[in-house]
Amino acid sequence: MTPLACQIAAGATEALLSGPGGREVDADSLRGTGCAAGPGSGLDPAARVALYLKDPLEVIRALVALDGQVAALLLLSQGLSAATAGQLARAAGCTILLCDEAPQEGDADAEGGAPLRRTPAAVLAPHRRAEPPAASVATQWLMTTSGTTGLPKIVPHTLATLARSVVRLRPGMAGSIPGSVAGGMPIWGLLYDPTRFAGLQVVLQALIGGGRLVAVDTSLPLAAQVAALAAAGVTHLSATPTLWRRILMVPDHGRIPLAQATLGGEIADQPTLAAVRAAFPAARLTHIYASTEAGVGFSVTDGLAGFPLSWLDAPPGPVRLRLHDGILWLRPPVTALTPGQTPGQTLGQTLGQPPGVEIDAEGYVRSGDRVEIAGGRVLFLGRENGLINIGGVKVYPETVEAVVKAVPGVALVQVSGKRSPVTGALVVAEVQLAPGADPETVRLAVQAACRARLEREAVPAIIRFVAGFATNAAGKLMRTG
Amino acid sequence: MTTLEDDIRRVFAQVWALEKGSAAPELLPETVLLETGLDSLGFAIFVSSLEEALGYDPFTLSQDAYYPQTFADFVQFYDRYRPKP
């Protein structure tokens, strides 16, 4: 497999990356970034390296320097606490944790099984290699799932599976690539975390596909981020529907000279698609559907929610689609599998589906996404397991219910999602009070308990008191919606 | 009109107090809502609380997608979709 350093698009502009604070990295310097291998460095082909870095440019430099050189790269988000990051690094068998701070005197660096802490300055060597070396190792890329139930899961990928949807652009191809800029290459804006699936897609598209990547400081107010994107002349931008709706509330959003607007990570509804189209009439509008279960996805570019019903018979790409029980099933392309193996045997290992994924005899994978047919479209309704997506943050009702149930005065609780025109959904808790309990006291106690134990998105935005619940034949609360 | 505006200010202050634990900033007609410091989630809770208080949600009722930027835009938007008696 060709390492990432060798795949950086030829003809990439001098300033390939620009990051927070105006820092720039040119293509040659990025290609030439090596790692300080050698005796005692711990960086050998058997090394497993966890990346836990704040600056998106450092994440990208580390990925380029280490792909093909080490056995595994674990991408950890800054959204994870240091303790969780350490736990995940250990779970993935990492030998090195690349982070912003070197170990302090007295840190338990040699604690049993703990990875060695290293900073990029100690590990990444600028211009160390004259030309990128041939791949010595097929590096495993380990991504983590987002979610609020316990420790995030580690999902193994390879650069090939992650870069499968990258489109390789050439200057002058503008006419044939929808959404590309006449005469020039795209300037990609990065608002996502580069260690997450969606952000990494943007990074790989820019590096391999060609163009320039502008990473903004996402800790700044959104108006400042939008101003930075506009000043950098960003032409291609990908964000969740929730973030798009927020961008549209920034008065100067129209100054971003967009040729391509992409929505992903949540269901893109018609009002949001229409609003983005109206705000950026010159831009091509795409919404992305991705299934973690099937390890694949597809994009829709006609500006309408869902996808055309005709795709069930004639899919536009290599992924085959089928509806069964009101659920979308997808059959990944055979090319994604190891030759000589059947889909049923290899899907789990090759694409890293979470365990328990259902695959039928023909190789279709149950996505868990509920759909309905209306007006010649297949529209997405939500997750069959009740998972609530609040602006891209996924919350399991059971996690919230477990916290609410423990509050004195709560007899029964059912948590569900309520549609929100701002964040897609909000968490609603319906509570049946214990005899004699005071509603206002319980409301405050539920809010306090949830704030203390759950992330913000998972805290019920609405608490309703109900007289009782419907139960099914097994006596379980029925989950609807 | 004044009553609706007052209702919106009251709900904004409640949501702000719950989310931020402090007194809400003053809302002038030209205040840009995004710059008040309420994030997406806070804004979603604000819109949902208004729906509980007023009985309607213009974002869901409106056919074309519209994202009010200033407080005056926002009040006008709610006024336009106020159920007619």
Find the CB nearest A250 among B34, B43, B59.
Answer: B34
pLDDT of amino acid A6: 82
Instruction: Record the tokens describing residue A77, joined without a space.
Output: 């988000």
Phi then psi for A463, rounded to 5 degrees?
-120, 120
Is B47 an interface residue toward A (CB < 8 Å)?
A: yes
pLDDT of amino acid A16: 78
Chain A CB contacts of B36 below 8 Å: none
What residue type is A399 in one-letter code? Answer: T
Q: Do B57 and A461 touch (CB under 8 A)?
A: no
pLDDT < 70 stretches in chain A: 1, 10-15, 35-42, 104-113, 126-135, 146-150, 170-183, 334-356, 471-481
Tens of pLDDT along B15-58? 999 888 888 999 999 998 888 888 889 999 999 999 989 999 99
Angle at A265 between CA A273 and CA A288, to 5 degrees: 60
Is B61 an interface residue toward A (CB < 8 Å)?
A: no
Contacts of residue A419, defined as CB under 8 A and 6 or more positions apart, other chains included, come to A425, B60
Is B21 an interface residue toward A (CB < 8 Å)?
A: no
pLDDT of amino acid B48: 93
Instruction: Record the tokens describing residue A334, joined without a space.
Output: 């055979």
**A465, A434 in Cβ contact below 8 A?**
no
Q: Which of B33, B85, B20, B25 is nearest to B59 (CA)?
A: B33
Cα–Cα dist A247/A254, whole Å: 10
**A54, A100 in Cβ contact below 8 A?**
yes
pLDDT of amino acid A112: 61
With a cut of 60, say whether residue B82 has pLDDT above it.
yes
Is B24 an interface residue toward A (CB < 8 Å)?
A: no
Q: Do B41 and A419 touch (CB under 8 A)?
A: no
Q: Where are the beta strands (DSSP E) in A303-348?
A: 307-308, 320-324, 327-331
Contacts of residue A94, defined as CB under 8 A and 6 or more positions apart, other chains included, come to A48, A49, A50, A72, A74, A115
Compute the CA torsion angle A198, A204, A209, A215 (nearest 10 deg): 80
* B38, B67, B73: best to mutate for the A interface, most A CBs within 10 A: B67
Nearest chain A alpha carbon to B33: A249
**A40, A109 in Cβ contact below 8 A?**
no
Cα–Cα dist A242/A343, whole Å: 35
Is B35 an interface residue toward A (CB < 8 Å)?
A: yes
Which alpha helices (DSSP H) does A253-390 contain, by range? 270-279, 343-351
Note the ipTM here.
Answer: 0.90
pLDDT of amino acid A154: 86
pLDDT of amino acid A350: 39
Chain B CB contacts of A457 below 8 Å: 41
Tens of pLDDT along A248-292? 988 899 999 999 999 988 899 898 999 999 999 999 999 999 887
Q: Do A421 and B57 touch (CB under 8 A)?
A: yes
Chain A CB contacts of B30 below 8 Å: none
Tens of pLDDT along A350-375? 344 445 678 888 989 898 899 999 99
Q: How far is B20 from chain A (nearest CA, A)?
A: 12
Q: Which of A415, A225, A390 is nearest to B44 (CA)?
A: A390
Residue given tokens 């920034």 in the structure block: A250
Chain B CB contacts of A390 below 8 Å: 41, 44
pLDDT of amino acid A177: 45
Helix axes A56-66, A197-204, angle to 10 degrees: 70
